[in-house]
Amino acid sequence: MTLDITDLKVTIGGKEILRGVDLTLTAGRVHGLAGESGSGKTMTGLAVLGLLPHGSRTAGSIRLDGRELLTLPPKELNKVRGGEVAMVFQDPATSLHPMLTIGRQLTEHMRHHLGLGRAEAKARAVELLGKVRIPGPEEAYGRFPHQFSGGMRQRIAIAVALACSPKVLIADEPTTALDVTVQAGVLRLLRGLCDELGLAVLLVTHDLGVMSAVADEVSVMKDGLVVESGPRGRVLREPAHPYTRALLDSLPDAELDPAESGTPKSGTPESGTAKSGTAKSGTAKSGTARSGTARSGTARSETANSGAAEPDAEAR
């Protein structure tokens, strides 16, 4: 199973949002897509599902196992949505309908896509809730989203996305709206599901820390173009593009651990080791701004870092 995006171009209202994006997702691999806000990460994700805003034009090609998605008739596309390609959105507080029970939101597309009966769908939903580690899945089934915490809601949103056993999962900043303490849990869950179910995952994020924790491959976007792409270890350790370097430099030390990158499935980053990885030593002059305490940060560090820090600060 592969999802191939080639030369994807999107214009909205005459403005070029994507200028020829190439990406490939493969089963069982997490592909991280990084970049500042406005670089087109989310639009790439939405384009796969045909969910771009009204008035947008698309060119290029998105192929799911050789089938072109961009020209699919609406009925066929609706079968792909949720059934073969699913999506998890940024803010679980708004991406679940506040007035419908969890059970309803978990089962309605199952029944529509898979033609399951009420009881079958419920059994599967409860099983899924257990799989994403919601305590008391039977009771949770009848509850409403506001009765869960943010982290739980995102787990539920992931369960909703997985309900019809899709092959591709697009996770659009799935941890950005969450507490730092629950982020790791959600990421571990995503990684685990990817390995267990053989999902192809596109993990959209502006957070390279998140990226280094779970991604197998990393692509970096800027101004509607993929400027760098490759295995995580290589991209994070030896960034070829200046923009990637700038992104890496803008990170606080503890968040990124390129030395660990050889084993992508190791889960969360273990901070503390290898503070002076090759990537950072190469650009040591901007390291001053990188340190959270920034005692040395005066005029010099500001100028050195101005290009690098801005995109990330804006994204956050």
Partner 1 sequence: MHPLARFLVRRVLLAVLMAWGITLVTFVLTNLVPGDPVAANLGQRAMSDPAIVSQWRAEHGLDRPLWQQYLLYLQGLVQGDLGMSQQSHRPVSQDLAEFVPATLELAGAAILVSLVLGVAFGVVAALRRDRLPDHALRVLSLIGISVPTFWLALVAFYVFFYRLQLTPGSGRVDVALGLAPPVTGLQTVDALLAGRWDIFASAAGHLVTPALVLALYTIGLLTRFTRSAVLEVLGQDYVRAARAKGLPGRTILFRYVLRSALVPIITVAGLAFGSLLSGTVLVEAIFAWPGIGQYAYKSATTLDLPAVMGVGLVVGVVYLVINLIVDVLYGVIDPRVRLQ
Site for partner 1 in 151-190 (CB under 8 A): 157, 160
Helix axes 102-114, 118-131, angle to 10 degrees: 120
Nearer to partner 1, 48 or 211 (CB): 48
- Yes or no: say if 191 and 132 are a contact pair by the CB < 8 Å rule: no
Residue with tokens 């992508």: 264
**Least distance CB 245 / partner 1 (angstroms):** 34
Contact track, partner 1, 226-265, x by CB under 8 A: ----------------------------------------
Contact track, partner 1, 13-52, x by CB under 8 A: ------------------------------------x-x-
**Least distance CB 235 / partner 1 (angstroms):** 28
Interacting span for partner 1 (CB under 8 A) from 7-15, 105-113, 264-272, 293-301: 105-113
- Yes or no: say if 15 and 34 are a contact pair by the CB < 8 Å rule: no
89 binds partner 1 (CB under 8 A): yes
Tokens of 27: 């089963």
Picking from 150, 158, 152, 145, the residue whose alpha carbon sits closest to that of residue 101 is 145
**Least distance CB 105 / partner 1 (angstroms):** 8
**Least distance CB 272 / partner 1 (angstroms):** 37
Query: For 170, phi and psi rounded to 5 degrees?
Result: -105, 115
**Least distance CB 280 / partner 1 (angstroms):** 37
**Least distance CB 85 / partner 1 (angstroms):** 8
Nearer to partner 1, 113 or 245 (CB): 113
Nearer to partner 1, 164 or 289 (CB): 164
Neighbours of 59 (CB within 10 A): 12
Residue with tokens 């999802």: 3
DSSP letter, residue 302: H
Nearer to partner 1, 79 or 316 (CB): 79
Residues 124 and 147: their CA atoms lie apart, in Å, by 21
Site for partner 1 in 128-147 (CB under 8 A): 144, 146
Tokens of 189: 């869950």
- Yes or no: say if 126 and 137 are a contact pair by the CB < 8 Å rule: yes
- Yes or no: say if 246 and 203 are a contact pair by the CB < 8 Å rule: no
Tokens of 88: 């998890």
Residues 279 and 258: their CA atoms lie apart, in Å, by 8
**Which of 112, 133, 241, 275 is close enough to bind partner 1 by CB under 8 A?**
112
Site for partner 1 in 46-85 (CB under 8 A): 49, 51, 77-83
Residues 95 and 51: their CA atoms lie apart, in Å, by 14
Picking from 154, 152, 123, the residue whose alpha carbon sits closest to that of residue 135 is 152
115 binds partner 1 (CB under 8 A): no
**Least distance CB 2 / partner 1 (angstroms):** 20
Contact track, partner 1, 199-218, x by CB under 8 A: --------------------
149 binds partner 1 (CB under 8 A): no
Tokens of 22: 């190439």
The site for partner 1, by CB under 8 A, has a size of 28
Residues 245 and 282: their CA atoms lie apart, in Å, by 9
Residues within the interface to partner 1 (CB under 8 A)? 49, 51, 77-83, 86-87, 89, 91, 94-100, 108-109, 112-113, 144, 146, 157, 160
